[in-house]
Amino acid sequence: MTIDSGDGRLDRLRAELREWLGEHRRPSLAGMGEYDLEREVWRNPESPLHDDFQAFEQASLAARLVCPQWPAEYGGRGLGELEMAVLAEEFARAGMPRVTRGMGERLAGPAILAHGTPEQRAYFLPRVVSGQDRYCQGFSEPDAGSDLAAVTTRGVVAGDEIVITGQKIWTSRAHLADTLFLLCRTDPAAPKHKGISYVLVPMKDNGITVTSLVTMSGEDAFCQEYIDGARAPLFNVIGGLNNGWRAAMTTLGSERGAVAAVQHLEYEEEWRALVARARELGRDTDPLVRQDLAWAYCQVHVMKATGRRVLASLAAGGRPGAEASLTKLVWSEYHRRLGEIAMEIEGAEGLVRPPGEGYPLTRWQKTFLTSRAETIFAGTSEVQRRIVAERVLGLPKSS
Amino acid sequence: MTIDSGDGRLDRLRAELREWLGEHRRPSLAGMGEYDLEREVWRNPESPLHDDFQAFEQASLAARLVCPQWPAEYGGRGLGELEMAVLAEEFARAGMPRVTRGMGERLAGPAILAHGTPEQRAYFLPRVVSGQDRYCQGFSEPDAGSDLAAVTTRGVVAGDEIVITGQKIWTSRAHLADTLFLLCRTDPAAPKHKGISYVLVPMKDNGITVTSLVTMSGEDAFCQEYIDGARAPLFNVIGGLNNGWRAAMTTLGSERGAVAAVQHLEYEEEWRALVARARELGRDTDPLVRQDLAWAYCQVHVMKATGRRVLASLAAGGRPGAEASLTKLVWSEYHRRLGEIAMEIEGAEGLVRPPGEGYPLTRWQKTFLTSRAETIFAGTSEVQRRIVAERVLGLPKSS
Amino acid sequence: MRLGFTEEQDELRAGVRRLLAERAAPDRLRAATEAAEPYDTDLWKMMARDLGLHAMAIPEEYGGAGYGFREQSVVLEEMGRTLLRSPYLSTVVVAAAALLHGDDEEARARWLPRIAAGEVVATLAHAEPGVGWRAGRPRAVAVRDGAGWQVGGAKSHVVDGAEAGLLLVSAAAGQDGRDLVLLAVDPGHPGVTVTELPALDTTRRLASVTLDGVPAQAVATGERARRLLDRVLDVAVTGLACEQAGAAARALEMTVEYAKVRHQFGVPIGSFQAVQFTCADMLLHLEAARSAAYYAAAAIDRDDEDAPIAAAVAKAVCSDAGMAIAAEMVQIHGGIGYTWEHDAHLYFKRAASSAGLFGDADLYRERVATLAGV
Amino acid sequence: MRLGFTEEQDELRAGVRRLLAERAAPDRLRAATEAAEPYDTDLWKMMARDLGLHAMAIPEEYGGAGYGFREQSVVLEEMGRTLLRSPYLSTVVVAAAALLHGDDEEARARWLPRIAAGEVVATLAHAEPGVGWRAGRPRAVAVRDGAGWQVGGAKSHVVDGAEAGLLLVSAAAGQDGRDLVLLAVDPGHPGVTVTELPALDTTRRLASVTLDGVPAQAVATGERARRLLDRVLDVAVTGLACEQAGAAARALEMTVEYAKVRHQFGVPIGSFQAVQFTCADMLLHLEAARSAAYYAAAAIDRDDEDAPIAAAVAKAVCSDAGMAIAAEMVQIHGGIGYTWEHDAHLYFKRAASSAGLFGDADLYRERVATLAGV
């Protein structure tokens, strides 16, 4: 069952994408995640897939399929959420990862679009599309996690520059990036949510030391940055000096609609893989395992259905309702439980890792461990529940 | 496996009780709950069991087995918690209900013992033991539930009397009682927890109107009292005027140790009955049902083991630790879940009630419905968790 | 597949809500459930005549308006909100679907116009004591009798059975009872005994039916009967899921309202994080229930190939969500929520009865596993 | 049955805690788990020599001190607190029990004094790939060989197997392999291959063992072997439950401490009701785990008739409690709790591995159901 717009626009897009994918699909890249693509291929000329990727990237750029949700003037094609959902469906159908621009596309871009000046948009966005600038996010600090407005990294204006000193943490893909978009306090005298600026800071030779943070799954998936007098032109301040909180909120809220509409796709694949694994272990006939797998199926099906509701609201020109606010909570708590179910199915097998240096893990061990982070990062489940209670249900603020 | 004291004292008590029960056991009363006994027999001379009960009550009084935890001077035999646990075990073993004095024994008595003057103890306690005075509790009010210190029922001193006006709610067994022990505000100017008095108020011809409150299970298990100028001698104020909060806390905390030690007994019987029911319905071979029943077995076993730990602390002369504070939370949440499990086992059968006037219920339907109250009354689960977090774990107070 | 509602569907919802607010408000509900009257026949007629709710999903050739299941799902969701005691689900949704998708044109022509006009109550009599809700092999037995059939057996949990003018009865037939047959039975026949069952949930009426050599007409036989029964049960649990979503929505609304106004410790209890988080979890359940119910309704409406699994998911998800929400409704309301006087217990009991009716969440999860190829 | 601890047991606990605080503090633990050294042999010797922990539960005639399982349970709980990587459970608790309650006096006389002196690591090799943890019929096969036996097969998840100087191997024997035999095997024999397995939980070492025509001595055979194996597994899961209770206690302590000092939104996070309630639930789990573990330890100690069911309850309860507590430990610690650097992940992985070792909670609940007569 595919997304059905009720008009011909989506059907035309779908037909175009099928044809384009038929022509440009690279079997060597099929099945890779977007992040794997970026990590293992994009920056690595040694990769056997490098040439294939380059060809696919060039074709994507030529077809304006990189950041296609952005306006045409910045290199996109101005696709709406419905079209983006169709796009996600068709790439998933073809088994191909889309060429994405990571944090620049998903997080900083929307803030620049919404809060940047025309000059800022014209300068920064095409550089993201082309791949010239690669972004990573510097919001969290050791003492500013859930309480993001507690940032203490300082930004001091010096002439037409801003000079930044402080520490950031939990930065994904910092090693792949050259620009850190960060929050810093530029007016310490102002109330907590005021006096914060949103700055795009070049990372190279700029007083920024990046160190890896190894996670419980043994991967260096996160970094921390020690920032000692890094400089950025004032042109790189998004949303105005001392006025970065709104832009930050745009970044944090930028994923809702589209994510809700397509998030089930990867979980469907994962679910099928887990069923196959259960069968391989002879656990698929165990009534308890069947209940767990069926529960997971139900959850993923509900995500799909919720995505359809969100799309229907968008198609009707409305804003998604309560269901979209719950997205992060739903998928992160689902996935944490799925990791536990996978380990229960693995049983004794799950206690033993694959051989190899370091701390290699099986797919299901990795899911079990990395899913613990998903209810913590990008707004803990506690923060999400509070937002739902106060902003969606309108309950009085807790003190 | 029975309670093992390590000295001969308990063994002697156990031997005495077995002999006494062997002699005085009334098969007609066997299997009845203590509350059923009170409700259906004690006040009802029409009951076919009335004479049997009277004989058993007289024998119990003669053997000082009514309120046996109270000092000998008030009619008891000064039994400690360990002995009380042995007592509970032996009565359960014989299948006999113990003659209890309800709220007078369990709730008001401990407060009178701890906070009453020698004269008050000497006057009130023997009347509870003999059955002359029957108590019920008037703490909650429509706007003072979890927040008990918010009571607004007024008490005004007039000469050597106190005159009380207000409304109480959630009173169990008010119809069986002649004395209402209540909290009232005697100093409205004082801070919330000060200015409250704990008063024993005669219910007959004293401006108190008792009405039934029907619960979701269709029973009139609770009452509310409209109190209009009820009078009590100042002698009936426990713990001193305006100083009733401490006595109230004694009443609320009076059940911990002994309850923890014996609460599993009735749940063991209930569990066996549910297994029998599952077998009758052919559900005992369903792996999901077996998991649920085993889970319930584990919970009851843990209650038994926790009771043993509490008794061991008491036997060693110590106070029970964290495990005792959790008692209410553990059994009420267990029992609520057990009610759900029972309904799942009943399946289609559970949707149909027995025939008859009113709203008759099967045992399992009744458990399903009445267990919903257990996480609400006598301190909601929310209040219990807060107490555990702040007083047991020492977390900072929530605001 | 679109899961939004059209303007027309929104108007339908508003119209039904208006009528039920007026005619089936909680005090009326309570009066009705405690009255001897099986259902509000005046309201029944108004729904049929003034709003056309009965004719809605019936094809025009049988006196209907030719809309589909999505419209009915809107009506059911609204009925769920007020816990309306009405034979709408049994008659207009389930029985009509059995006739419509069956093979007996004569039965269709005879009954559908009467259902469309609100003139008859009809219901499915499939469940039997001690037999699984989705069991394909009833203990009731039918034998050929000339052009028709004769049926004997015992049915239970027949929704609105005591009011029905038409029973759709499943029975085993053929050699070794391996075939299935779905029969139209007149409950007025002397061989039929219908007994009202006292229900835990007073807002939904149940009956038992015994059949002793009763003449019947086949609506479908053999493999077609099996497929029809599956389809009708899918319709039934999807309709129920829509009701469940509606009831859960109202239960959450009432709870949030109460948490805003009820003060303890000097503040509204809704400002306590524990209450906030519980309400947030209730909303998670509610939105899942809605998504699952809307999806299944759309799949049924389009007769999509994933309709059976969508219906099973909806039953499992809405049963769990309904119970969780109603249970927290009682808990957050505290003592007052435990009284007979307050409506919370009606929502709680409805949630329990809907969770059990036509099979519980475990049963439908097992069905999901099977249908999904586990 | 008393579930309190004697003064002597309290002193033992204090002594073990002191030693482990000094010698097995988190930094040492981390160093040890990341080092190539399989376990801290100095500490092992100190425990055996200075505190007499190895000799404790071994009868005096075999060089022991003649105490019982309750004393061992205290030691295990303390080892659990620090996640000590040590072959104590496998050697001193499990293997010693197998020898002690077996029928081979010669094996007892040969091995128990060496275990008591801390001179040897010994372990049970029962689990096999693809065979249930409590399966009574191994795939490994033993045949008579003169006065002794010869055994062949593959064993997995052998705790501390790579360090062992003695393996206690279960195998099928007799006609159709219907009999069970528990054998003492010298891992130094050329037919034995022991391979260290990379474990998810780096604080507990696992190995696989293959046996190819290896000579062995029977510790028990036939029905006696079956009973012995059951008893030894009951001892194993009860010992594990005590470790789980200890680890859970420390995990909760660390979490509560963190919640008191970590500030967000200007207040300690422990003042948020959500964190308070989570910690309260963790304590519920912890006290249940302790009660179940202490009860089972006392039942094992006294060889009570309800020891098997008490052990199964303890495994089920402590596995669930351990996972729940460790999971919330990570969640409440937030980002820092997700790092390799912080100890939370060690508690989390230990909880997961203990929950799975010797069979998971579902398996033991099924066992509880069977033993309780469901």
Question: Which residues in chain A have their CB less than 8 angstroms from residue B288's CB?
Answer: 287-288, 291
Residues of chain C with pLDDT under 50: none
Q: Which of B216, B380, B398 sits opposite C334 (nearest CB)?
A: B380
Alpha carbon distance D224, B25 (integer Å): 45
Alpha carbon distance D145, D150 (integer Å): 6
Instruction: Reply yes or no on whether the pLDDT at B6 is more than 70.
Output: no
pLDDT tens-digit profile, chain D (374 residues)? 667 899 999 999 999 999 999 888 766 667 666 666 889 999 999 999 999 999 999 999 999 999 999 999 999 999 999 999 999 999 999 999 999 999 999 999 999 999 999 999 999 999 998 888 998 889 999 999 999 999 999 999 999 999 999 999 999 999 888 999 999 999 999 999 999 999 999 999 999 999 999 999 999 999 999 999 999 999 999 999 999 999 999 999 999 999 999 999 999 999 999 999 999 999 999 999 999 999 999 999 999 999 999 999 999 999 999 999 999 999 999 999 999 999 999 999 999 999 999 999 999 999 999 999 99
Alpha carbon distance D21, D204 (integer Å): 19
> Can you say whether the dihedral through the CA atoms of B273, B278, B280, B285 is positive or negative?
negative
Q: How confident is the model at residue B385 (pLDDT cuts 50, 70, 90)?
A: very high
Q: How confident is the model at residue A259 (pLDDT cuts 50, 70, 90)?
A: low
Please answer whether residues D93 and D235 qualify as being in contact, where contact means their C-beta atoms are separated by less than 8 angstroms.
Answer: yes
Q: Which CATH class is domain B251-391?
A: mainly alpha
Catalytic residue among A34, A40, A57, A255: A255
Q: Which CATH class is domain B108-242?
A: mainly beta
For residue D374, the distance in angstroms to the closest alpha carbon of chain C comes to: 20
Q: Using only C-alpha atoms, what is the Rg of chain D? A: 21
What mean pLDDT is reported for chain C?
Answer: 95
Query: How confident is the model over A157-170, as pLDDT tens digits?
Result: 999 999 999 999 99
The confidence score (pLDDT) of residue D177 equals 87
Nearest-by-CA chain B residue for A286: B287
Q: Which of B214, B376, B385 sits opposite C334 (nearest CB)?
A: B376
Q: With 0-12 CB in 10 A as exposed, 13-18 as middle and 19+ as buried, what is B100?
A: middle
The confidence score (pLDDT) of residue A300 equals 98
Query: How confident is the model over A114-145, as pLDDT tens digits?
Result: 999 999 999 999 999 999 999 999 999 999 98
3-state secondary structure of D154: strand
For residue A137, the distance in angstroms to the closest alpha carbon of chain D comes to: 15
B396 contacts chain C (CB < 8 A): no
A203 contacts chain C (CB < 8 A): no
Average pLDDT of span B300-314? 90
Instruction: Reply yes or no on whether the pLDDT at A257 is more than 60.
Output: no
Query: How confident is the model over A330-363, as pLDDT tens digits?
Result: 999 999 999 999 999 999 999 999 999 999 999 9
Question: Which residues in chain B have their CB less than 8 angstroms from residue C337's CB?
Answer: 376
Please answer whether residues C297 and C224 qualify as being in contact, where contact means their C-beta atoms are separated by less than 8 angstroms.
Answer: no
Chains A and C form CB pairs within 8 A to the count of 145
Instruction: Reply yes or no on whether the pLDDT at B140 is more than 70.
Output: yes
What are the C-alpha distances in Å from A198 to residues A132, A175, A233, A251, B215? 21, 21, 12, 10, 58
DSSP symbols for A188-254: TTS-TTSSEEEEEEE-TTSSEEEEEE-BTTS---EEEEEEEEEEEEGGGEES-TTBHHHHHHHHHTT
Catalytic residue among B255, B333, B344, B349: B255
Cβ neighbours of residue B172 closer than 8 Å, sequence gap 6 or more: B103, B136, B137, B221, B222, B223
Backbone φ and ψ for D303, nearest 5 degrees, come out as 50, 45
DSSP symbols for B230-291: EEEEGGGEES-TTBHHHHHHHHHTTTHHHHHHHTHHHHHHHHHHHHHHHHHTT-TT-HHHHH
What DSSP state is assigned to residue D94?
Answer: I
> Can you say whether the dihedral through the CA atoms of A77, A81, A83, A87 is positive or negative?
positive
Cβ neighbours of residue A120 closer than 8 Å, sequence gap 6 or more: A112, A235, A238
Alpha carbon distance A149, A194 (integer Å): 9
Instruction: Reply yes or no on whether the pLDDT at A383 is more than 70.
Output: yes
Whether A355 and D198 lie within 8 Å, measured CB to CB: yes
**Domain spans in chain B, listed from the N-terminal domain onward:** 9-100, 108-242, 251-391
Largest distance between two CA atoms of chain D: 77
Whether D274 and C272 lie within 8 Å, measured CB to CB: no
Please answer whether residues D192 and D209 qualify as being in contact, where contact means their C-beta atoms are separated by less than 8 angstroms.
Answer: yes
Instruction: Reply yes or no on whether the pLDDT at B399 is more than 80.
Output: no
Alpha carbon distance C223, B273 (integer Å): 42
Nearest of D125, D350, D359, D156 to residue D243 by alpha carbon = D350
Whether D368 and B298 lie within 8 Å, measured CB to CB: yes
Backbone φ and ψ for A46, nearest 5 degrees, come out as -75, -20
Whether D200 and A351 lie within 8 Å, measured CB to CB: yes
Helix axes A264-280 and A363-374, enclosed angle (nearest 10): 140
For residue C152, the distance in angstroms to the closest alpha carbon of chain D comes to: 36
Q: Which residue is listed with tokens 């006025």?
A: A243
Q: Using only C-alpha atoms, what is the Rg of chain C? A: 21
Q: Using only C-alpha atoms, what is the Rg of chain B? A: 22
Q: With 0-12 CB in 10 A as exposed, 13-18 as middle and 19+ as buried, what is A242?
A: middle
- Cβ-based neighbour number of residue B186 at 10 Å: 24
Cβ neighbours of residue B69 closer than 8 Å, sequence gap 6 or more: B76, B78, B79, B80, B81, B83, B84, B258
Whether D338 and A147 lie within 8 Å, measured CB to CB: no
A312 contacts chain C (CB < 8 A): yes
Is A255 noted as a catalytic residue in this protein? yes
What are the C-alpha distances in Å from B41 to residues B28, B38, B52? 11, 6, 9
DSSP symbols for C200-244: SSTTS-EEEEEEEEEEEEEEEEHHHHHHHHHHHHHHHHHHHHHHH
What DSSP state is assigned to residue D199?
Answer: B
Please answer whether residues D349 and D275 qualify as being in contact, where contact means their C-beta atoms are separated by less than 8 angstroms.
Answer: no
Whether D277 and C274 lie within 8 Å, measured CB to CB: yes
Please answer whether residues D143 and D134 qualify as being in contact, where contact means their C-beta atoms are separated by less than 8 angstroms.
Answer: no
The confidence score (pLDDT) of residue C26 equals 67
Choice between A251 and D238, residue whose per-residue pLDDT is larger: D238
The confidence score (pLDDT) of residue D35 equals 67
Alpha carbon distance A365, B235 (integer Å): 70
Alpha carbon distance B221, C338 (integer Å): 11
Chains touching C (at least 3 CB pairs under 8 A) are: A, B, D
Per the structure block, which two tokens stand in for B51? 């004479």
What are the C-alpha distances in Å from A348 to residues A243, D83, D359? 54, 20, 8
Whether D284 and B330 lie within 8 Å, measured CB to CB: yes
C274 contacts chain D (CB < 8 A): yes
Query: How confident is the model over B18-75, as pLDDT tens digits?
Result: 999 999 999 999 888 777 777 777 777 888 888 899 999 999 999 999 999 999 999 9
